[in-house]
Chain A
Amino acid sequence: MDFLSMNAQGFPLLSILVFLPLAGALVTPLLPGDNLARWWALFVTLAVAALSLPLFSGFDATSALYQFGEHRPWIESFNIHYTLGVDGISLLLVMMTTLIMPLCVLGSWRYIEKRVPEFMICLLVMETSMLGVFLALDLVLFYVFWEAMLIPMYLLIAVWGGPRKTYASMKFFLYTLAGSVLLLVAIVALYVSQGTFSIPALMGQQYSLGFQVMVFLAFFLAFAIKVPMFPFHTWLPAAHVEAPTAGSVILASVLLKMGTYGFVRFCLPITPDAVVELLPYLQWLSVAGILYGGFTALAQQDMKKLIAYSSVGHMGFVTLGIFALNERGLEGAMLQMINHGVTTGALFLCVGMLYERTHTRDLNASAGLGRFMPIYVTYLAFFSLSSLAFPGTNSFVGEFLILAGAFFNNAWAAVAAVPGAILAAAYMLRLLQRVIWGGTDNPDQSKLSDLGWRETLTLAPLLAFVFWIGLAPEPFLRVMRPSIGHLLAQTGYQAPNALALADLFTR
């Protein structure tokens, strides 16, 4: 257990974080009335968010160890343990999840009118499984959380979704499940080869290249579908468009990150030789995703679809950063995961708020809101600028680091990815221009009310993060640096040094 720094006071902070939402979900059916269920879910998610703060403040940013560790036997016959721990790679993802969830509850406050308690139960169960995925240090525990997430997400889309909810939810479920059954086989293969399911113990072992490639491909399929990497992305637009706002936010902010987290957590340290062997393919697939996502987003009339396809592009940047296999690239990728979560989550919330008022997501029908909804369009403008990586916003830092990293590993791929950034500017500015200044041939819009205090409050924290990360990313990069260094050392891949310019930027 030398990789795990146990929790000093013996206070099981991580377990409480993971299972508090589940406990909250179990209480929810007992509450009378829809409003009480809403307030209860908000209370529970806020409590989880508050409990995650000591995680950040107590985290030792100089160490690459898994911290706040918990280790208990679970199924000893198969050497399966209940091991939780947080390191620089999972810390920010955990924080983001706990931040996003209360906002999801707030974002669904009026949006969800039927079967509210059940909806809140699904949200809370989702939170448990998502936190579990980021904190589990045992492969079976990880897999249980990974798969358990499918059920509430399926129900979120299938029950509270849009007109084509059945199609979208089935597609989501089948795609992700088809990917993860092979993940299970890979997990079993690793167990048979090393006799353990402990994730840290499986890292940095000597496996034959053939074995690594097999395991990597199984991992890759599961994670690439989740990310989703081009060409495994086809479930995403349907799921995003049909899901209720909170579902879209969770999908964009957290679920997609589970895929990229899987690449970083499993593929790089467990199958490094296979990654290096397949590196060019992975990089070019990322570039293809960036360009494809950009071009397709440009052609969308439905705002949710536009943001969904932009996600494919943004996640392409993240995978490009991961497979740059150097410090800059990985730092950028990790940061961009958070950025995408904050920005795209916020954009989906914005679309949801508009949809509550106009019951349409069509760009033309929502045109010209600038005069009537000043607070709304201000938010929308900032989040759009963040999405297109405007300097001073969070995504700029992330994309810059990713491109800096990619340039030093595969300059051609990096050059090919740059138009992706331009495309992002094109489709986001098109969206902004339409919504704020577009022709107002729709007479109803003058009657639209601007954001209320609840909605303003929902978006405010996300905007704060946009600027905080954009202007002072160092606190966020600092916590992940030792873990990334350790991770790169484990891959044993001699990546070229990153740009001196990038150093200037982040110090």
Chain B
Amino acid sequence: MNAQLFFPELVLCAGCLAAFVLTLTGPSARVPRLCALVVAALFAAACFWSLPLEGSLFAGAYRVDLFSQMVKCAMASGFVLILLFGADLKGVPGEVRPEYYLFLLTSLLGLTLLVSSVELLTLFIALELSSYSLYLLVPLRRGEGLRAQMEASVKYILFGVAASGIMLFGMSYVFGLTGTTYLDQAVPAMRALAGTPIGAAALLALLAGLLFKLAVFPFHFWAPDVYQGASNDTAAFVASLPKVAAVAVLLRLAAMAAPPEGLAAGHVQAALTGLSVASMFYGNLTALAQKDVKRMLGFSGIAHAGYLLLGVVALDAWGFASALYYATAYVFMMLAAFLGLCAVSPDGGNLTVDDLSGLHKRSPILAFVLAASMFALAGIPPFAGFMGKFMLLATAYKAGHGVLVAMAAVNTALAIWYYLQVVRRIYTVAPAEGAGPIAVDSGTRLAGICLVVLMIALGLAPETLVRLAASAVRMAM
């Protein structure tokens, strides 16, 4: 076994162990955070260092290639930024902070393992590792009223377990049909079968687990409640990193639905198209009515999952590359939005849209980062959200989904309304009485600047990332 290939994961494992030891030594807030920051920085360094590496581990169940490493790099960068701006963890009770960092790290470990898994059971275990950690993270919240976070975590667990069950069911079908759990053998075998009813059923069941992670309609029920019920810092994590990991695995699995040359696309594609449209409309229309910002972002996340599926239904390398690009950009857009929420909220509580009134007077930098994230999520140039949406539209149109593209365009216009409401409050409404200036620590400031630069840089110079994504995706298909 080539240990180099597993280096980023080893760093994380060591980090998890260290965090575990810290949970035994007592509740100090600073040390676990410092430990997590060091681990995150080392993990990021290891990911970028291992970007060009390639190879298989664990009897071929685990593959390290450009595809997996690229996603890991995106997740690692996102994780560093989360830790940077989440210094004071206002929403998490002091006594559980060591545990908080421990579960954050184990969840990240699960996600990291997930993107490299090319064997169905390994994939399942990795997915569950990340999910169970998140189930534990969601209720770790300073209790203003226990109901919301309890409801969130119960919903999350119940729906998560149901989705996992359906996914296992799909896996058993795939195994039954192909006789293997290894993706490199299962994918070509399933591609020939994807047109058959049993093949389609197997694939759809298999994809359900990931669609749950992505909060695609109708697997979305958990998302708004979890966003609302979890602390701001946890929600920042839940809303960003698992999404990109789920997209990565979704792309690996969706390759099964690509019909061989000369065959018509099957039911899976039609189903994904339907889910995409339903997600976009449901997400955007419901987001319009939300007052709680995190809940609004939860519903908008459902709509974004719909956009992402535009790239998946194309079922070709460019479509997948666009989806991967968009997912990467989405991580940073979401983090920028949550950075603002975490920093603005005085005690880690939830913010309504009205709470953001006059933010530009209270903290120009937070106002700028939040407004930039809203414009980016709305898909307005020069931010990355535009370029991502544009590529998704282009590839979907090229694949002959003209109507779907028109629907997505309509949805883009719909979404502007609620994103703009946030910007409007920030810049044009006077702050509430007694709302003084907000002190922004240097970590948040640095993370905010990094995120805005990243969003603009990814939007204006997407070439490197798109090429990387395209060659990575070819490797995965």
Contact = CB atoms under 8 A, between A and B. Distances in A.
Interface string A154-197: 11001100000110011001100110011011001101100000
Given A77-B463, A151-B375, A159-B427, A170 B390 contact: no
B394 A78 contact: yes
Chain B interface residue count: which class?
A: 20 to 34
Given A75-B466, A166-B428, A188 B405 contact: yes
Contacts of B409: 181-182, 184-185
Interface string A111-153: 0000000000000000000000000000010011101101100
Contact of B420 (A75, A140, A173): A173
Given A77-B463, A77-B470, A166 B410 contact: no
B287 to A, nearest CB: 16
Contacts of B466: 75, 77-78
B386 A147 contact: yes
A74 interface: yes
A76 interface: yes
Contacts of A178: 413
Contacts of B397: 185, 188-189, 192
Nearest to B361: A115
A154 B390 CA distance: 22
A143 B387 CA distance: 11
Nearest to A179: B413
Contact of B382 (A75, A148, A154, A170): A148
SS class, residues of chain B in contact with chain A: helix
Interface string A246-260: 000000000000000
A75 B394 CA distance: 13
Contacts, number: 82
A159 B428 contact: yes
Interface string B365-387: 00000000001000011100011
Contacts of A77: 318, 321, 463, 466-467, 470
Interface residues of A, number: 34
A173 B470 contact: no
Contacts of A182: 409
B381 A148 contact: yes
A209 B1 CA distance: 62
Given A174-B416, A178-B413, A188-B405, A158 B424 contact: yes
Contacts of A159: 427-428
B393 interface: yes
A73 B410 CA distance: 30
Nearest to B410: A181
B49 interface: no
A313 to B, nearest CB: 29
Nearest to A80: B463
Contacts of B470: 77
B169 interface: no
A170 B416 CA distance: 10
SS class, residues of chain A in contact with chain B: helix
A158 B428 contact: yes
Contacts of A148: 380-382
A185 B463 contact: no
A165 B428 contact: yes
Nearest to B325: A77
A75 B375 contact: no
Nearest to B399: A192
Contacts of A151: 375, 380
A73 B470 CA distance: 18
Contacts of A174: 413, 416-417, 420
A172 to B, nearest CB: 11
A188 B398 CA distance: 8
B432 interface: no
B382 A144 contact: yes
A177 B375 CA distance: 12
Contacts of A140: 390
A137 to B, nearest CB: 17
A147 B381 contact: yes
A185 B466 CA distance: 21
B407 to A, nearest CB: 10
A181 B408 CA distance: 9
Nearest to A147: B381
B394 A192 contact: yes
A177 B428 CA distance: 20
Contacts of B318: 77
Max count, chain A CB within 10 A of own CB: residue among B402, B409, B417:
B409
Interface string B402-437: 100110011011001100100110011000000000
B80 interface: no
A155 B413 contact: no
B391 interface: yes
A102 B406 CA distance: 40
Nearest to A191: B394
Interface in A317-354: none
Interface of B: 318, 321, 375, 380-382, 386-387, 390-391, 393-394, 397-398, 402, 405-406, 409-410, 412-413, 416-417, 420, 423-424, 427-428, 462-463, 466-467, 470
5 contacts: A166-B428, A178-B413, A185-B406, A188-B394, A188-B397
Cβ-closest 6 pairs across A and B? A144-B381, A181-B409, A178-B413, A188-B397, A147-B381, A158-B428
Given A154-B420, A177-B413, A188-B390, 12 more contacts: A74-B463, A77-B318, A148-B382, A155-B427, A159-B428, A165-B428, A166-B424, A174-B416, A178-B413, A181-B413, A184-B393, A188-B394
